[in-house]
Amino acid sequence: MSITRPTLILNEAIARRNIARMAGKARRCDVRFRPHFKTHQSAAIGEWFRAEGVRAITVSSVVMAEYFADHGWDDITIAFPVNWLEVETINALAMRVKLGLLVESVETARFLRERLAAPADVWLKVDAGYGRTGLAWDDSAGQAAVAGALAGSERLRLRGLLCHSGHTYAARGEKAIRAVWNESVQRLTAARESLAAAGFPGLELSPGDTPGCTVADDFSGVDEVRPGNFVFHDTMQVEIGTCGWPDVAVAVACPVVALHPERGQIVVYGGAVHLSKERLALPDGRVHYGAVALPVEGGWTLPIPGAFVTGLSQEHGIVSAPPGLLEQVKLGDLLMVLPVHSCLTANLLGRYRTTLGETIPMARF
């Protein structure tokens, strides 16, 4: 591989194994696997999911839905609150694919009744404890009001309750993640029971986050799962306890451009426009933007203990390096940075290069 500048390296075997594991668990549990494609944003990688039997997907924007619809996907949930300003594009999509939309207010339910031009499934966006957006899981009156505003619509079919329990990202360890998962499923179930009692029976449940879906022993009690990040994982997932380093499928190859042994630092070509400024805390209170490994034939080593990207400018990355690494590295070498958040890093780098040397394009919006 002749790599000359920051390049997103993808180990296809690891990604395919991650997909196969999650698809297998969903199959065993007889639960629909509707993976979130925002992580990879690539039609080619989408085919790896199709090979595992995936037919239904999740995306995080209307333009991303268009991109995957253009690449043969016809069952797409846009897991983002309906943006009124995009109703024309939503209508065009609803005419050509089986579309799922997220609604969390009576206003948006009414807006869609008035403006939606083709059939769509509606998922009530429920906040199961994360606190980002959605109707509170225990707001039975609010949920029933939205369901009521949809009732009798010719085009809108209330399909179920959907949540993203992103607070698993604040958990550490499988036990803590599993507790959030179980609580989320219980809360969705309680909301479904309230809605059934209010005259809206038969709703499906759809939880979503990678930590929960990875760590949960099974998916009993829900109808579909929507994890996304698990296809690549990243340093954050390892930190949370979702997975181990051998499950991380992407790293950014960064050329070494300066050495500062006097302060234990290596400067790489690889900055905020390549890695993103997503960060994690180190035990000593500093922050970091990625763990650092060495390139080897076919991939990269385990991260080097104590080696982290601790500073980022637009194009510069500052690696805090233990003495052993500094002795080993020369100008013109590559270091491999395992990103904190692979979704953001992939979005910035805009294409993949596999460890076998193949280039895989992705959408750029």
Binding site for a copy of itself (CB under 8 A): 3-5, 38, 60-63, 80-86, 89, 104-105, 107-108, 111, 131-134, 166, 255, 257-260, 263, 267, 269, 272-273, 276-279, 311, 313-316, 318, 331-332, 334, 343-344, 347-348, 350, 364
Task: Give the Cα separation of 243 and 173 in Å (integer).
Answer: 10
Minimal distance, residue 166 CB to a copy of itself, in Å: 7
Which DSSP string do the residues of 305-327 spell out, in sequence order?
Answer: TT-EEEEE-SSEEEEE--HHHHH
Alpha-carbon torsion angle 246, 240, 179, 31, nearest 10: -40
Minimal distance, residue 217 CB to a copy of itself, in Å: 27
Q: Give 31 or 362: the residue with its C-beta nearer to a copy of itself.
A: 362
Q: Give 25 or 288: the residue with its C-beta nearer to a copy of itself.
A: 288
User: Which pair of tokens denotes residue 26?
Assistant: 């969903």
Minimal distance, residue 86 CB to a copy of itself, in Å: 5
Minimal distance, residue 47 CB to a copy of itself, in Å: 22
Task: Give the Cα separation of 150 and 125 in Å (integer).
Answer: 14
Q: Do the beta carbons of residue 120 and residue 165 sit within 8 Å?
A: no
Minimal distance, residue 7 CB to a copy of itself, in Å: 10
Q: Give 11 or 276: the residue with its C-beta nearer to a copy of itself.
A: 276
CA atoms in the 13 A half-sphere facing the CB of 351: 9
Q: Give 31 or 236: the residue with its C-beta nearer to a copy of itself.
A: 236
Minimal distance, residue 310 CB to a copy of itself, in Å: 11
Minimal distance, residue 220 CB to a copy of itself, in Å: 28
Q: Do the beta carbons of residue 14 and residue 359 sit within 8 Å?
A: no
Q: Give 17 or 316: the residue with its C-beta nearer to a copy of itself.
A: 316
Helix residue ranges per DSSP H, the chain = 12-28, 43-50, 62-70, 87-96, 106-115, 140-150, 174-197, 210-215, 235-240, 272-275, 323-328, 342-349
Q: Give 219 or 308: the residue with its C-beta nearer to a copy of itself.
A: 308
Q: Give 242 or 345: the residue with its C-beta nearer to a copy of itself.
A: 345
Separation of CA 48 from chain center = 16
Q: Do the beta carbons of residue 234 and residue 22 sit within 8 Å?
A: no
| All residues at 6 or more sequence positions from 209 whose CB lies less than 8 Å from its CB, including other chains | 164, 165, 166, 168, 169, 227
CA atoms in the 13 A half-sphere facing the CB of 357: 3
Residue type, 85: L
Give bridge partners of residue 320 from the DSSP assignment: 265, 308
Minimal distance, residue 277 CB to a copy of itself, in Å: 4
